[in-house]
Structure 1
Amino acid sequence: MEHTLIVAGIGPGGKDFILPKALTAIKRAHYLVGGHRALSDYASENQETYAVTGKLAPLAQWIKEALSKDDVVVMVSGDPGYYSLLPWLKKQFPECPLTVIPGISSVQAAYCALAQPWQGSEWLSFHGRVPDDDKLMFSEGRKLSFLTDGVHNPAFIAEYLMGKGWPGETPASACEHLSYENQHIVTSTLSEIAKLDGFEESVMVVG
């Protein structure tokens, strides 16, 4: 029988935010892949694990060898359909049966923490990339959300957007450690967020 690659979204991080279906797949896995924090939270002693780093070639080889023996579960933060390892896994293992279990994205968690609806919001990412200019130009009533990183943090993004014509008084929020006990949210304006330190791995909501 051909073994299956299972991609399980674990949500924004807090254990209360993972779907039962994903948790069941993780608990049943013999071969489990994930970030260091996810493995610390969910892996058990009887599982063979691989911690995801920036080096993907060794990860692909490990998964290939594991799939020859059993199913492999890959934990991804947030939802697998939103800037995760899913496209890379599909490219690396195009012939392998694939099951994807959804998770709550960090952007959803951010809007809920802000008690705001997100319909109509444009979901983009500054995590390891810069969106095209035409996706960042100001228009009245527009609402954007971003994943951020160490280089493109909310302060950088605020300055970048103001350079694209966004008024400094535009409402903006920076949200980090979503769903964890140390969740931290700053809600202000673009001009004030531009002065904000930190929030490297976070979600930013604008508009």
Structure 2
Amino acid sequence: MKHKIIVAGIGPGNEAYIVPKALQAIKSAKILVGGRRALAQFAHAGQETMAVTADIKGVMAFMASQLTEHDVVVMVSGDPGYYSLLDALRREFSPESLQVIPGISAMQYAFASLALPWHDAQWVSFHGRVPAADAINYAPGKIMGMLTDGKYNSHTIPELLLKNGWPADTSLYICSRLSYPDEEIVTTTLGNAGTIAVQGHCILVVKARN
């Protein structure tokens, strides 16, 4: 294949957290694909764009049709290697046709904001799925970062963890709107999470006592 699909991680949201190589690829792209919010933020006149919607097959067909003439730049939130469109792209195109530019995931940003190393942490996703029970079971000293959605949020996830044996006094960090001007990080405990305004589509971090 003459041209490539360039998968550019756009970080947690604020343009300041996009690596320069990804930003350059986005600015110089002739064909730009991404979510509607990303296109509204980064697309400019002269670019042909395609919004990523539920019609993933249509998006893939569009990209395939463009590769005969141009590279295609695909913007994905956070880091492409962490729950992004990259999985679907690998099923449709060969790895040799993909160039991936890493980005800063919202999970990395959350841990950095807490000055908390993540090399021993476990990351799981409640976004459109439920992790296996053994992945979220309690263990002394366990640190866990969680992606959330509207259903599994800052109220329902703590309830689930408490049922799975986590102590009520476990530290909980509710990290919402990360990197944006109205960013908020609330420190509480699993037992008190239900007394705080519910947050979905955020990052939750729990840190158990040793």
Tell me whether the two structures share a fold, i.e. TM-score over 0.5.
yes
2:52 counterpart letter in structure 1: V
The corresponding residue for 1:12 is 12
Distance in 2 (CA, whole Å) between partners of 1:103 and 1:70 is: 23
Distance in 2 (CA, whole Å) between partners of 1:95 and 1:41 is: 28
Aligned length: 207
TM-score (norm 1): 0.96
Distance 1:71 1:142, change over 3 A: same
2:66 is aligned with 1:71: no
Q: What's the secondary structure of 1:191's corresponding residue?
A: coil
Distance in 1 (CA, whole Å) between partners of 2:119 and 2:144 is: 11
How far 1:68 moved relative to its partner? 2.4
The corresponding residue for 1:90 is 90
Distance in 1 (CA, whole Å) between partners of 2:93 and 2:24 is: 23
Question: Does the CA contact (< 8 Å) of 1:173 and 1:193 recur in 2?
Answer: no
Q: Cα RMSD between the aligned structures? A: 1.3
- Give the % identical residues: 47
Question: Does the CA contact (< 8 Å) of 1:169 and 1:190 recur in 2?
Answer: yes
1:143-176 alpha-carbon deviations (Å, 9 max, x no partner): 1001111111121111111110001110011111
Q: Which consecutive residues of structure 2, in runs of 5 or more, have no partner in the other structure? A: none
How far 1:63 moved relative to its partner? 1.1
1:185 counterpart letter in structure 2: I
Q: What's the secondary structure of 1:205's corresponding residue?
A: strand
1:28-63 alpha-carbon deviations (Å, 9 max, x no partner): 111111111111111111111111122212111111
Question: Does the CA contact (< 8 Å) of 1:3 and 1:96 recur in 2?
Answer: no
**Which ranges of 4 or more aligned residues in structure 1 deviate by more than 4 Å?**
none
How far 1:96 moved relative to its partner? 5.6
The 5 A counterparts of 1:95-114 are: 97-114=97-114
The corresponding residue for 1:146 is 146
Q: Which consecutive residues of structure 1, in runs of 5 or more, have no partner in the other structure? A: none
Distance in 1 (CA, whole Å) between partners of 2:159 and 2:89 is: 34
How far 1:94 moved relative to its partner? 2.3
2:50 counterpart letter in structure 1: Y
2:178 counterpart letter in structure 1: L
The corresponding residue for 1:157 is 157
Q: What's the secondary structure of 1:199's corresponding residue?
A: coil
TM-score (norm 2): 0.94
